[in-house]
């Protein structure tokens, strides 16, 4: 009997005591692989990994390539949530440059120009832009001089982190430009707004324009000289290129033209040493990173092995392929059979048979086999030409590096030299203080590269067409049509607004609605005009 | 008027025994209860060594003819069995002692047990004699349809398939809705185990003695933050003191046959559709058709055989060591070819007592090894959609040794067409998906009544639940499905370790002076759940490491969570009439931040036993009435995330790196988080009455309840710019469940040879979401859910305030004069001139308005028969097979291959590709939301008791079972009983015929 009392005293009571006393610590558990902020930012390598996310968040959809651990889990399929695909849908699908055959809810709303505030594609794009902005803000908060010295980071490591702060500000300015262009008045947060503190306030479109301008002015001197930063990171050329684009569209955003500034900044880029790549047909190929020292100013980088996504250039390549096309001819194994083009784009080119121009134009990259140029039915893939501008094929004709050709290597240029030529020409043509002769020469530079007929005179309509010939499917068309006031009225294309021959639509469609879930979450916001 | 008939019927039932024994009269007697001297009707009086016997009548009297010197065995449930030697006296009076150890009188509750009469909560106990029979390979299926308030829906017909268990509805959107399962005092890990179809399938159902289901908060709140979804306590079979050693061997052998297939076009209908000029197939498409007539579903399903063999020993070894040891072997095929599960299980239970019964030790050890071969369930969808005019084999592929010789859709370079369905037979035969899973659950419980204070017991319980699952998936490089990846070789492994330490003190005292009894409990518990997930590189079939498949960044991950708890319970009985239970639990969970991790979960309940009142005692119709009312607060801490309150940076995989210069860097991403995240909290009210009529020959319980869950975890959109994602999981919602449960059990007939029992239970539960967000903007529709096939990312259901969970969110179909749906025509419900997302409406939901179970057992001499019928009314299912495969465009959307369509296309004649129409709306039509009310004959059993076999101590029984024999339902799909309400590629539940033998010897 005594033994049992002893057991009770020596075993059970200590057990009880241990449970009661140890419980506070016992319940503090931490993940094995994920890192708390103090561990991430312990050294320069950690900063570089965060900076990789600050940049890479416009390339991938999550932390697992090609899918899994999504950055933006809300609103459905992860493959739709990358930046390039979302931006491309919003800029190209509502225009004459693209239709898509798939029946995913909300996708047809783009070309039909009848979207609602519930549209999942709009929601994801909006969330993607803010995701990157919030990462930039966090990076700026964690990389102040105080924090760096607290963490004992000094010397070249600290210098590079300080430089990268200006790059983060560039990326943030870029995403605010995207939001301003697509949505108008949007919520505004900087590194001074801590996570989860207050509901962000809405900023007026013109004020946002001023903010973006002030940021670009503030950082351009601090960024590295054009063409000197590591490929994939932003330099002064990128900031100038964004400024030029911003000023060209100033009237859309603020009501006032800033054409002289557009001329100035496009000229700075043009004079910074960039050159046109010799062959237009190679611009969007698998090893187009070779253009890093020539035509490309700033890119979203993909890699078939290391940067995989179902969006980006993999989407642009695969979605354009369907029977009778053979996927392997494009360096991929996916034929998603979705994207085509309305007849208006091929008709801008001489070799479509609709033009009287004598010379061909190497920029026309269409697959016509088994297709009709007219689209009787958007859902029917054979209706409409296919754009084969994006191909996962190297310059030497071999496929991209992914071992089973599932993902594209092609990088997506957010800014390339050709656009700056066109900005210079257009700003000059619109009355900016550029040189008209130089403008004509820049246009002819592009046409020479395209092996197209030289022109002797240009006007605004010609520039709009030339922009389409040069920049189609690169995410510019909606902004261009709005700037030329041809988006809602004055110009129609097949199935615009859901009518087979196109129809005029209401002007409120020049802006996308703030997503309804965002209005639900943030009562500071006012919806854009329209029946939302 | 109806009531009178019932009484007349009952009286008739009771007269039958009287009428039956018009025999020679030698012995007669009365049997009374030793405790209250009341006569006991229905007692079995049997001549020992025979099956000859009688049953006492309404007044406890019996008469029997027997020879002098023989022994009568007198038995009645709840009482100790007595033997009476027949002497010269022909008139006998026998007092039966109540047996407190008998199940049914003692109810297992959290941390102990209670006498049934002291129970104040809503608790259902189901013993092994009431279990479902036949081939039951996973424990929860034993009690399907047996308990009111408990819905158990098997998730398909694959071997070992798990079930979705809901006790009194669902109370959560994002956290778990599964009940806590406690096996012999060890709360087990509810999560899955890699490589196992269902973690519960690793427990041999044959080892289970009882299920106790704790339903209301007064019963469950002692489990605090894990109790919101109810608690299922499983008690395994044990040996008892002094019992004679006996062996039992049972073998159940069954064949499973497919009950219903997906209705798709046969080859002739398919040809007719393709060649019908109205459908405007292109010449290329018509050329694509083959010359065969293949029913692809016949090619993938088979009759499946199962054998389940169990051997057990029960006894009291050397009169010191009551024990039970068991061994089981199960081999179960699935009706989908190549599907198979083998399981070996062993169990050992020792329950010795020492120190004159003051020290009780209970050791439970259970282990099982399961080997699975998982069929590629992708074949189910492929068989429905594959062109029926094509043949299984292809001569060119056979000649070239490609694609396993199967017919496949190829491009003009003879490479697989990636968008086409793959040959279903190839999918099955060209994939080996195998796993080995080990699981062991055990505990040592020591209960010691202190010698210096015998009313106080200390109880220590140390338990564990460990599992290891590992497996491989191999697809040869000749398989079309993995052509572009050169086949597949992948591995996985997961280890789980759940450890438990509990300690409590229990004080029981009769305070006769104030007519009271108290039972006081106080204790503490510690439980730790550790999972280790190993990461492997996926390789080609030939393990070709040259192929640039990235390595995992981390070799393993170890998610872990821990609970520390303190609990106390008071049971107080006053004059045996009024019983009060009060409990309190404090839980601390590592899943929450130090500020929010501790929670208190109280409960209180009161019961009033009218049985003790004289007006009940003085009549013989009503034998028991107990009224109960209870209240309590419970929580739900199983929120999925272990570290949801922490700000952490995740490191990206090697396929999601970003390029700077020529180098690639893994990305570090901060995750959205809510530092204040905490458990969901449910307040439950319950009121119930238990009745017993005619000496409990008829028992009934009625319970009404109301559950109000607040702080519901919901994924809410974050304001853009305010967090590291577009949404975050946080405690914002509320939901309420209310319901009524009724169960009746009756011995309808009981005579010397004949006994007929009928049980019926019915439950009605309705739920409503009452809050989803911190603020509600007008026009906010809710959280879309319920992903469907067709398009990408389409949802068919929504969680909206004021509506039931998972309400279907659909367009209202317009029907033509012929009653058929008109394609592309939907009601403009808001009359704004356009049909768009604003015209979606909420229509029905997958939860039944009520569901019920009917159980009946009939025995006549050596024969017995039983049946279980389950039914459900008012549950709706979205027929995703119809919607996804229900148009002409399903067949003709592609030039390079054809796809088979649902027979539904012949009814609707939907084109699926109307020019200018938004074809995607069709997927969201309410036409596809169908009434799936059903009545299922779950189980029909016939048994024959051969009695002594070979020699007197060997008893043999045989049984024949029919499971899932028929389903009556208007629903058009394969099976109306689909949890979640979305029917797509459902693994059909087969019809099962079982022949079994049970041999026991002492």
> Kind and range of the H or E element at B847?
none
Q: Return contacts of A196-199, CB within 8 angstroms, 24+ apart.
A: A196/B674, A196/B675, A196/B722, A196/B723, A197/B722, A198/B722, A199/A522, A199/A523, A199/A524, A199/B719, A199/B722
Residue ranges of B 684-743 with Cβ closer than 8 A to chain A: 715-727
From residue B327, how far is each of A304, B115, B203 by CA, in Å? 53, 32, 12
Residue B376 distance to chain A (closest CA, Å):
22
Smallest Cα–Cα separation from B719: which of A524, A81, A140? A524
From residue B620, how far is each of B3, B37, B60, B611 by CA, in Å? 17, 14, 12, 11
pLDDT for A18: 57
ipTM of model over 0.90: yes
Q: Which chain A residues have a beta carbon less than 8 Å from that of B723?
A: 134, 195-196
pLDDT for B36: 67
* Closest-CA residue of chain A to B915: A377
CB pairs under 8 A between A and B: 354
**Using CB atoms, which residue from B418, B656, B920 is nearest to A103?**
B920
Interface touch A60/B775, C-beta < 8 Å: no
The DSSP-derived string for B480-503 is GGGGGGTSEEEEEEEEEEEEEEEE
Q: Which chain B residues have a beta carbon less than 8 Å from that of A379?
A: 889, 893, 913, 919
Over residues B328-347, the pLDDT tens digits come to 999 999 999 999 999 999 99
Interface touch B913/A377, C-beta < 8 Å: yes
**Using CB atoms, which residue from A53, A79, A116 is nearest to B669?**
A53
* Closest-CA residue of chain A to B525: A19
Interface touch A28/B721, C-beta < 8 Å: no
Q: Which of A49, A126, A135, A139 to mutate to test the interface with B (most CBs of B within 10 A)?
A: A49
Residue B793 distance to chain A (closest CA, Å):
5
Distance CA A346, CA B473 (A): 48
Residue A431 distance to chain B (closest CA, Å):
38
Q: Which chain A residues have a beta carbon less than 8 Å from that of B668?
A: 35, 40, 46, 49-50, 52-53
pLDDT for B61: 87
Over residues A470-497, the pLDDT tens digits come to 999 999 999 999 999 999 999 999 999 9
* Apex B27 CA angle, B25 and B32, nearest 5: 130
Backbone angles phi, psi at B483, to 5 degrees: -55, -45
Over residues B836-860, the pLDDT tens digits come to 888 999 999 999 999 999 999 999 9
Contact B147, B762 (CB under 8 A): no
Over residues B34-74, the pLDDT tens digits come to 766 777 777 888 887 776 778 787 778 888 888 887 888 88
Range scoring the smallest mean pLDDT among A105-114, A375-384, B37-46? B37-46
Distance CA B44, CA A438 (A): 113
Over residues B749-807, the pLDDT tens digits come to 888 889 999 999 999 999 999 998 776 666 678 888 898 988 777 889 999 999 999 99
pLDDT at A105 over 60: yes
Mean pLDDT of chain B: 89
Residue B820 distance to chain A (closest CA, Å):
23
Distance CA B167, CA B148 (A): 9
CB count within 10 Å of CB B471 equals: 22
* Apex B630 CA angle, B627 and B634, nearest 5: 155
Q: Which of A47, A51, A53, A163 to mutate to test the interface with B (most CBs of B within 10 A)?
A: A53
CB count within 10 Å of CB A176 equals: 22
From residue B274, how far is each of A40, B280, B549, B886, B932 by CA, in Å? 61, 8, 42, 14, 32
Q: Which chain B residues have a beta carbon less than 8 Å from that of A40?
A: 649, 668
Q: Which residues contact B323 (CB under 8 A, 6 or more apart)?
A: B239, B313, B314, B315, B316, B317, B348, B349, B350, B351
Interface touch A8/B793, C-beta < 8 Å: no
**Tokens 């699975």 sit at which residue?**
B372
pLDDT for B2: 46
Helix/strand/coil (H/E/C) assignment for every residue in B134-174? CCCCCHHHHHCCCCCCEEEEECCCCCCCCEEEEECCCCCCC
Helix (H/G/I), strand (E/B), else coil: B559: coil
Contact B868, B938 (CB under 8 A): yes
Interface touch B896/A370, C-beta < 8 Å: no
Over residues A462-475, the pLDDT tens digits come to 999 999 999 999 99
pLDDT for B18: 44
Residue ranges of B 651-680 with Cβ closer than 8 A to chain A: 651-662, 664-671, 674-675
Q: Which chain A residues have a beta carbon less than 8 Å from that of B809?
A: none
Contact B874, B849 (CB under 8 A): yes
Smallest Cα–Cα separation from B285: which of B409, B428, B151? B409
Interface touch A402/B548, C-beta < 8 Å: yes
End-to-end CA distance of chain A: 81
Rounded to the nearest angstrom, the gap between the alpha carbon of residue B708 and the centroid of all alpha carbons in its chain is: 23
**Using CB atoms, which residue from A37, A77, A198 is nearest to B647?**
A37
Distance CA B173, CA B228 (A): 13
Backbone angles phi, psi at B115, to 5 degrees: -65, 140
Q: Which of B506, B554, B595, B717 to mutate to test the interface with A (most CBs of A within 10 A)?
A: B717
pLDDT at A189 over 50: yes
Helix (H/G/I), strand (E/B), else coil: B262: coil
B448 shares contact with chain A (CB less than 8 Å): yes
Smallest Cα–Cα separation from B426: which of B398, B473, B386, B392? B392
Token pair for A213: 């301008």
pLDDT for A1: 46
Q: Beginning with the edge strand found earlier in the chain, give each strand of the sheet holding B807-810 in spatial order.
A: B783-787, B795-799, B807-810, B841-843
B283 shares contact with chain A (CB less than 8 Å): no
Contact A510, A179 (CB under 8 A): no
Q: Which chain A residues have a beta carbon less than 8 Å from that of B553?
A: 33
Smallest Cα–Cα separation from B680: which of B216, B170, B151, B232? B170
Interface touch B724/A405, C-beta < 8 Å: no
B793 shares contact with chain A (CB less than 8 Å): yes
Strand partners, B388: none
pLDDT for A77: 78
Interface touch A308/B718, C-beta < 8 Å: no
B950 shares contact with chain A (CB less than 8 Å): no
Residue ranges of B 388-417 with Cβ closer than 8 A to chain A: 411-413, 415, 417
Token pair for B589: 């969970």
**Which portions of chain B are predicted below pLDDT 70?**
1-25, 35-36, 51, 77-78, 98-104, 545-548, 775-779, 915-917
CB count within 10 Å of CB B23 equals: 10
CB count within 10 Å of CB B948 equals: 11
pLDDT for A431: 96
Interface touch A64/B557, C-beta < 8 Å: no
* Closest-CA residue of chain A to B921: A105
Q: Which chain A residues have a beta carbon less than 8 Å from that of B644?
A: none
């Amino acid at each position: 009997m005594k033994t049992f009392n002893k057991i009770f005293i020596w075993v059970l009571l200590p057990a009880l005591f241990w449970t009661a006393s140890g419980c506070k610590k016992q319940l503090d558990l931490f993940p094995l692989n994920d890192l708390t902020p103090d561990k991430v930012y312990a050294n320069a390598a950690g900063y570089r990994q965060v900076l990789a996310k600050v940049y890479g968040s416009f390339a991938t959809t999550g932390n697992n390539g090609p899918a899994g651990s999504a950055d933006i889990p809300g609103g459905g399929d992860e493959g739709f949530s990358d930046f390039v695909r979302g931006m491309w849908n919003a800029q190209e699908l509502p225009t004459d440059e693209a239709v898509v055959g798939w029946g995913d809810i909300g996708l047809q709303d783009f070309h039909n120009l009848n979207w609602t505030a519930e549209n999942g594609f709009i929601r994801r794009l909006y969330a993607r832009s803010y995701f990157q902005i919030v990462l930039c803000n966090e990076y700026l908060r964690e990389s102040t001089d105080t924090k760096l010295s607290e963490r004992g980071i000094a010397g070249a490591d600290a210098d590079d982190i300080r430089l990268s702060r200006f790059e983060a500000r560039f990326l943030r300015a870029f995403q605010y430009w995207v939001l301003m262009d697509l949505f108008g008045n949007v919520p505004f947060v900087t590194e001074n707004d801590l996570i989860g503190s207050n509901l962000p306030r809405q900023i007026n479109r013109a004020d946002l324009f001023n903010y973006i301008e002030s940021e670009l002015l503030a950082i351009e001197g601090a960024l590295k000289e054009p063409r000197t930063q590591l490929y994939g990171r932003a330099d002064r050329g990128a900031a100038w290129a964004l400024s030029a684009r911003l000023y060209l569209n100033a009237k859309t955003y603020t009501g006032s033209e800033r054409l002289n500034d557009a001329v100035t900044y496009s000229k700075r880029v043009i004079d910074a040493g960039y050159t046109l790549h010799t062959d237009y047909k190679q611009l969007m190929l698998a090893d187009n990173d070779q253009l890093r020292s020539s035509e490309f100013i700033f890119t979203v980088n993909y890699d078939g092995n290391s940067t995989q996504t179902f969006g980006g250039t993999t989407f642009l390549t695969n979605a354009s392929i369907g029977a009778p096309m053979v996927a392997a001819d494009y360096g991929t194994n996916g034929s998603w059979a979705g994207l085509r083009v309305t007849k208006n784009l091929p008709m801008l080119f001489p070799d479509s048979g609709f033009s009287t121009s004598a010379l061909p134009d190497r920029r026309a990259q269409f697959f016509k086999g088994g297709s009709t140029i007219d689209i009787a039915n958007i859902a029917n893939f054979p209706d409409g030409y296919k754009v084969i501008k994006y191909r996962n094929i190297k310059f030497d004709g071999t496929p991209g590096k992914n071992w089973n050709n599932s993902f594209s290597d092609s990088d997506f240029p957010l800014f390339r030299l050709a656009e700056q030529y066109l900005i210079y020409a257009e700003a000059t043509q619109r009355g900016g203080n550029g040189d008209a002769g130089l403008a004509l020469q820049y246009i002819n530079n592009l046409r020479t590269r395209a092996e197209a007929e030289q022109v002797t005179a240009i006007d605004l309509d010609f520039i709009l067409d030339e922009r389409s010939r040069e920049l189609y499917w690169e995410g510019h068309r909606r902004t261009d049509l709005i700037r030329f006031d041809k988006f809602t009225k004055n110009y129609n294309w097949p199935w615009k607004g859901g009518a087979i021959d196109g129809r005029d639509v209401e002007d409120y469609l020049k802006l996308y609605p703030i997503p309804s879930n965002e209005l639900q979450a943030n009562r500071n916001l006012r919806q854009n005009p329209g029946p939302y | 008027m109806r009531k009178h008939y019932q009484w007349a019927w009952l009286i008739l039932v009771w007269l039958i025994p009287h009428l039956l024994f018009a025999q020679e009269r030698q012995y007669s007697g009365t049997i009374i209860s030793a405790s209250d001297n009341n006569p006991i009707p229905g007692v079995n009086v049997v001549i020992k060594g025979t099956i000859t016997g009688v049953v006492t009548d309404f007044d406890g009297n019996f008469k029997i003819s027997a020879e002098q010197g023989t022994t009568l065995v007198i038995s009645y449930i709840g009482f100790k069995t007595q033997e009476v030697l027949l002497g010269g006296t022909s008139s006998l009076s026998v007092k039966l002692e109540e047996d407190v150890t008998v199940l049914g009188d003692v109810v297992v509750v959290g941390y102990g047990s209670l006498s049934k009469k002291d129970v104040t909560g809503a608790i259902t106990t189901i013993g092994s004699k009431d279990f479902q029979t036949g081939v039951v390979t996973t424990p929860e299926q034993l009690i399907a349809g047996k308990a009111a308030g408990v819905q158990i829906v098997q998730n398909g017909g694959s071997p070992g398939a798990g079930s979705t268990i809901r006790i009194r509805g669902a109370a959560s959107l994002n956290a778990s809705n599964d009940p806590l399962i406690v096996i012999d005092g060890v709360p087990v890990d509810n999560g899955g185990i890699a490589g196992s179809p269902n973690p519960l399938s690793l427990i041999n159902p044959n080892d289970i003695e009882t299920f106790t289901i704790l339903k209301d908060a007064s019963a469950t709140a002692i489990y605090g933050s894990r109790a919101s979804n109810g608690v299922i306590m499983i008690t395994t079979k044990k040996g008892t003191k002094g019992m004679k050693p006996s062996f039992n061997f049972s073998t159940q052998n069954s064949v499973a046959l497919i009950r219903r297939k997906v209705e798709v076009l046969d080859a002739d209908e398919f040809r007719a559709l393709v060649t019908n000029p109205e459908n405007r197939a292109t010449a290329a498409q018509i050329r694509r058709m083959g010359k065969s007539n293949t029913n692809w579903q016949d090619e993938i399903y088979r009759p499946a055989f199962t054998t389940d063999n169990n051997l057990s020993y029960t006894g009291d070894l050397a009169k010191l060591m009551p024990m039970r040891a068991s061994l089981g072997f199960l081999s179960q095929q699935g009706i989908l070819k190549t599907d198979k599960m083998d399981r070996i299980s062993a169990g050992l239970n020792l329950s010795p007592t020492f120190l004159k019964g003051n020290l009780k030790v209970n050791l439970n050890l259970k282990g099982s090894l399961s080997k699975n071969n998982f069929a590629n369930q992708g074949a189910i969808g492929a068989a429905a959609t594959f062109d029926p005019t094509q043949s299984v084999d292809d001569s060119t592929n056979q000649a070239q040794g490609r694609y396993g010789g199967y017919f496949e859709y190829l491009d003009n370079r003879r490479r697989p067409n990636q968008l086409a369905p793959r040959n279903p037979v190839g999918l099955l035969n060209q994939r080996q998906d195998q796993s080995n899973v080990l699981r062991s659950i055990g505990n040592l419980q020591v209960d010691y009544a202190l010698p210096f204070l015998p009313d106080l017991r200390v109880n220590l319980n140390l338990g564990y639940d460990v599992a290891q699952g590992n497996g491989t998936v191999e697809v040869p490089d000749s398989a079309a499905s993995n052509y572009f990846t050169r086949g597949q070789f992948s591995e996985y492994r997961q280890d789980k370790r759940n450890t438990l330490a509990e300690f409590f003190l229990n004080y029981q005292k009769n305070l006769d002076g104030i007519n009271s009894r108290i039972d006081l409990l106080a204790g503490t518990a510690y439980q730790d759940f550790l999972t280790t997930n190993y990461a492997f590189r996926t390789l080609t079939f030939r393990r070709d490491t040259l192929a640039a498949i990235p390595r995992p960044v981390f070799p393993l991950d170890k998610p872990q969570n821990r609970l520390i708890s303190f609990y106390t319970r008071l049971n107080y009985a006053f004059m045996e009439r009024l019983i009060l239970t009060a409990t309190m639990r404090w839980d601390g969970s590592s899943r929450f931040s130090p500020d929010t991790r501790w929670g208190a979960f109280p409960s209180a309940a009161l019961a009033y036993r009218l049985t003790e009142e004289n007006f009940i005692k003085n009549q013989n119709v009503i034998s028991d009435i107990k009224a109960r009312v209870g209240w309590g607060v419970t929580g739900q801490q199983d929120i999925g995330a272990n570290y949801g309150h922490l700000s952490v940076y995740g490191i990206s995989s090697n396929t999601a790196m970003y390029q700077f210069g020529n180098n690639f860097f893994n990305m570090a991403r901060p995750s959205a988080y809510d530092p204040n995240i905490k458990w969901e909290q449910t307040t439950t009210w319950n009121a119930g009455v238990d009745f017993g009529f005619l000496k409990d020959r008829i028992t009934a319980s009625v319970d009404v309840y109301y559950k109000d869950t607040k702080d519901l975890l919901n994924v809410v959109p974050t304001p853009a710019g305010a967090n590291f994602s577009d949404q975050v999981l946080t405690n914002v919602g509320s939901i309420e469940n209310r319901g009524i449960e009724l169960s009746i059990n009756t011995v309808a007939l009981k005579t010397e040879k004949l006994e007929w029992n009928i049980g019926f239970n019915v439950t009605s539960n309705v739920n409503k979401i009452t809050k989803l967000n911190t603020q509600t903007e007008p026009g906010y529709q809710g959280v879309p859910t319920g992903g469907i096939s067709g398009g990408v990312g389409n949802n068919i259901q929504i969680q909206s305030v004021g509506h039931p969970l998972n309400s279907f969110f659909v367009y209202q179909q317009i029907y033509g004069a012929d009653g058929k749906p008109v394609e592309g025509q939907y009601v403009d419900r808001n009359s704004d001139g356009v049909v768009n997302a604003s015209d979606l409406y909420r229509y029905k939901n997958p939860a039944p308005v009520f569901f019920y179970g009917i159980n009946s057992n009939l025995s006549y001499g050596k024969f017995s028969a039983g049946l279980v019928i389950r039914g459900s009314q008012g549950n709706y299912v979205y027929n995703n097979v119809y919607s996804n495969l229900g148009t002409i465009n399903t067949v003709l959307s592609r030039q390079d291959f054809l796809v088979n369509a649902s027979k539904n296309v012949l009814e609707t004649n939907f084109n699926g590709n109307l020019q200018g129409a938004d074809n995607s709306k069709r997927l969201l039509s309410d036409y596809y939301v169908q009434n799936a009310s059903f009545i299922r004959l779950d189980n029909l059993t016939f048994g024959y008791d051969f009695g002594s076999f070979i020699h007197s101590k060997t008893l043999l029984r045989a049984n024949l079972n029919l499971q899932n024999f028929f389903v009556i339902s208007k629903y058009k799909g394969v099976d109306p009983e689909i949890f979640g309400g979305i029917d797509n590629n459902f693994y059909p539940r087969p019809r099962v015929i079982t022949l079994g033998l049970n041999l026991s010897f002492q």
